[in-house]
Amino acid sequence: MSRPRVVVLGAGVAGHTSASFLKRWLGDQAEVIVVSPRPDYNWIPSNIWVGVGLLKPSQVLFPLSPIYEREGITFHQARATVLHPEGHGEDLKPFLEAESTLEGHEGEALKVPYDFLVNATGPKLAFEATPGLGPKGHSLSVCTAPHAEEASRALDEAVERMKRGERQRFLVGTGHGTCTCQGAAFEYIVNLEFELRARGAGQG
């Protein structure tokens, strides 16, 4: 008899923790499969340190493949696009469709059958809910490691301007009212104030 297949969508704090514990608890009794589009795990809370240049992106990211290989978890670097919990057409067993994000295989279609599904794809960054917000608009972000790195570069430029005597005004906040990362914004404000003082650019 084939082993039950447990598919975990997403390798953030929820998905990665679920997959690791499922494998530890179920061992060889089940196949644990992770489907997630990024090759790395990002410890998101520490992005606030990347955003002021005190940590590098490589210090908040680590590659998932070697860990899953060691743990005996199958990893598909792919983005789930459609769930078929009751199968589809002739195929009456649950499966999902995904598209590969693996370098050199981008867009290739995957069909992943499952018996149990953990959906841990996390929140959607909804910059578009606030016109003009976000890295593609007129603000910076620390929501992902690359965003935070960009914010850090912008801070370096602002500090240079301040040192040349230009007055800079920083507005730190969150977007749409339903977003729940006010804690991160508060932490970033504290980091920013500390860092401006440390670089001799703040006025206190």
Site string for ligand FAD, 104-143 (x = CB under 6 A): ----------------xxxx------------------xx
> Among 20, 22, 31, 36, which residue sits at the site for ligand FAD (rule: CB under 6 A)?
36
Stretch that binds ligand FAD, among 7-15, 24-32, 109-117, 167-175 (CB under 6 A): 7-15
Return the number of the residue (10 or 53) whose C-beta is nearest ligand FAD. 10
- Judging by DSSP bridges, how do beta strands 61-63 and 74-84 pair with one another? unpaired
- Bridge partners (DSSP) of residue 167 are none
Please report whether residue 76 would count as binding ligand FAD according to CB under 6 A: no
DSSP letters of the chain? -PPPEEEEE--SHHHHHHHHHHHHHHGGGSEEEEEES-SEEE-GGGHHHHTTTSS-GGGTEEESHHHHHHHT-EEEEEEEEEEETT-BTTB-S-EEEEEE-STT-TT-EEEEE-SEEEE-------GGGSTT-STTTT----SSHHHHHHHHHHHHHHHHHHHTT---------SSTT---HHHHHHHHHHHHHHHHHTT----
Distance CA 77, CA 90 (A): 27
Given 5, 31, 33, 47, the residue binding ligand FAD (CB under 6 A): 47
Size of the site for ligand FAD (CB under 6 A): 26
Report the nearest approach of ligand FAD to the CB of residue 51 (Å). 8
Shortest separation between residue 68's beta carbon and ligand FAD, angstroms: 13
At 200, give phi and psi (nearest 5°): 70, 25
Could you tell me whether strands 109-113 and 74-84 are parallel, antiparallel, or unpaired per DSSP bridges?
unpaired
- CB-nearer residue toward ligand FAD: 122 or 202: 122
Candidates 21-29, 36-44, 82-90, 102-110; binding stretch for ligand FAD (CB under 6 A): 36-44
Q: Which listed residue (9, 52, 73, 145) binds ligand FAD by CB under 6 A? A: 9
Residues 142-201 that bind ligand FAD (CB under 6 A): 142-143, 181, 183-184
Q: Tell me the residue number closest to ligand FAD, measured at CB.
A: 12
Residues that bind ligand FAD (CB under 6 A): 9-15, 35-38, 44-45, 47-48, 79-80, 120-123, 142-143, 181, 183-184
